Structure 1
């Protein structure tokens, strides 16, 4: 997947409230600038392609169905 420069910058993620704080804390551990404003969203500052990959991976870890995670892991191991 290729990301254009328009993918860099501030992004607002609509994350279920029950998962938002866990994702927020994990992004903080990864030193990715983010915040949880009162509107219920999760705002993330994506400054590099590596950050974009880490954000995607973190969100996937919490929100993706188990089978999707297993398929992804199998694809990783096959390369």
Structure 2
């Protein structure tokens, strides 16, 4: 994906629960990713660079994945680096 600084991609995120969307929005804002959590709970994320897509995926994964899924993911990452 090649995004120039003048182009943005708006990604609606609806795969997480309404209350967790506020948490996700705060975390994305901490990462300097523009996003809005509307009063209806709809989270809209503005992607301006490719790294932001990975950060968005990571934030959503941390919120939606079970503890077991996160442990398995971490173990696979550690095994890949050995």
TM-score between the two structures when normalised by the length of structure 2: 0.80
Matches within 5 A, 1:1-79: 4=1, 9-14=9-14, 15-79=16-80
Query: Does the Cα contact within 8 Å between 2:11 and 2:44 map onto a contact in 1?
Result: yes
Unaligned runs of 5+ in 1: none
Count of residue pairs the alignment pairs up = 74
Distance in 1 between residues matched to 2:19 and 2:35, nearest whole Å = 17
1:18 Cα deviation after fit: 1.7
The structure with the largest helix share of the pair is: 1
- Higher-Rg structure is 2
1:73 Cα deviation after fit: 0.4
- Local SS of the residue matching 2:39: coil
Q: CA RMSD for the aligned pairs?
A: 1.5
Distance in 1 between residues matched to 2:75 and 2:48, nearest whole Å = 29
